Structures are given as C-alpha cells and as structure tokens.
C-alpha cells in the first residue's frame, strides 16, 4: 500500500483491490490457482508457445509478485513439454528467502489489474514506479514487452474482461 507521502510525491493513482479478488485469493488453495492459471496460459498462448515466442522462459523463471495480497506466481516454460509451468505461493517471506527466480516483476494488484484490463501499458506503470523489476533486467524487459503485445480482450474470458474494464474505469473515475 502506498503511503500518503508516496502518493503526493509520485502522483500515484490509488485504486483499491476488489474485495472479491482478496477473498478469492485468500480462500482458494494454491494448488487450484496453479492449475487454473497453467491451464489458461497454456490454452490461451498455445500458438505463441508453438511459434517460439516464449522461448525466453526456457530454463528461466519469472516471479510476478503482487505485493498487497500477497500472491507470487513463478512462471517458466518447460522445454520438453512446451508447456507453461506455474508455482503459486501466498507468502512474501517464502518468496524472498527460499525460492529461486531469475527476474521479478512487482506491483500492487491494482497495477496488474490496470495492465490486464488494458487501461495501462507496462511502460507507463514502470515509469510511475507502480511496476518494478528486479534480477535479470533483460529477461524482465523481454517479458514486459511480450506482455505489452498481448491483447487482453482476446486473452481473457469476456465476462472477466468486461468486469475488469468496469472496475478499473470506475476506480480511475473516483480518484
């Protein structure tokens, strides 16, 4: 969560994580979140995986840290099966002290919701200091740029996409 001084200093938009997202994250077992995310990523990006667009993830691991929930997703690509693999951890302590990753993208759930809904691009979030990178900078930038080329409208189920659009738009209007 941003302090008032951070908000004033960086003119950060303050959005609030929807209650349903917090409840869903806390109440859903990590193994179920893992299966759902892996299935969705492998199904949605099957052609990109087959075309070699995600080869930069072979033998590499990207951590996506959602600081305010806390939720950490470790994403890699298995070279033999050509499938995206995901590890889900719900603790920042474990992430910082016991898990290996090559690069990490960190931000609040609000930043990632803006990104997923298409309301903000990764560069804007990065320059506003709402999205940070750590570790292998080149890997993180490649991943960030790949994310920027994806169409959220075609990557998400229509009901989720429209709900995210409505949430982010109303949250921005209320700030």
Q: What confidence score (pLDDT) does residue 161 get?
A: 65
Written as one string, the DSSP assignment of 111-133 is HHHHHHHTSS-HHHHHHTTSEEE
Parent domain of 129:
18-173
107 assigned to some structural domain: yes
Please report whether residue 127 resides in a domain: yes
Q: How many domains does the chain have?
A: 1
Q: What is the structure's pLDDT at 145? A: 83
pTM value?
A: 0.78
Q: What is the CATH number of the domain that holds 89?
A: 3.30.1050.10
Sheet holding 103-107, edge to edge: 83-89, 71-78, 62-66, 103-107, 131-135
pLDDT for the residue numbered 76: 95
For the chain of 175 residues, list the mean pLDDT of each consecutive stretch of 10. 51 58 81 91 91 93 88 92 92 62 90 79 86 92 83 67 68 58
Asked if residue 5 is part of any domain, the answer here is: no
Does 145 fall in a domain?
A: yes
| Per-residue pLDDT at 149 | 80
Structure tokens at 70: 């806390």
Q: How many other CB atoms sit within 10 Å of the CB of residue 117?
A: 21
**What pLDDT sits at residue 3?**
56
Query: Residue 28: helix, strand or coil by DSSP?
Result: coil
């Amino acid at each position: 969560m941003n302090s008032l001084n951070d908000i004033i200093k960086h003119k950060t938009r303050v959005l609030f994580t929807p209650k349903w997202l917090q409840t869903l994250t806390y109440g859903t077992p990590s193994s179920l979140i893992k299966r759902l995310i892996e299935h969705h990523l492998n199904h949605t990006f099957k052609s990109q995986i087959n075309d070699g667009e995600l080869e930069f993830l072979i033998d590499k691991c990207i951590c996506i840290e959602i600081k305010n929930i806390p939720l950490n997703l470790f994403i890699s690509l298995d070279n033999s099966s050509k499938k995206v693999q995901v590890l889900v951890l719900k603790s920042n302590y474990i992430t910082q002290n016991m898990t290996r990753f090559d690069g990490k993208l960190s931000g609040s759930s609000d930043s990632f919701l803006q990104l997923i809904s298409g309301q903000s691009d990764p560069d804007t979030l990065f320059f506003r200091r709402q999205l940070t990178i750590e570790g292998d900078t080149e890997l993180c930038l490649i991943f960030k740029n790949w994310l920027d080329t994806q169409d959220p409208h075609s990557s998400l189920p229509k009901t989720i996409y429209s709900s995210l659009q409505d949430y982010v738009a109303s949250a921005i209007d209320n700030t």
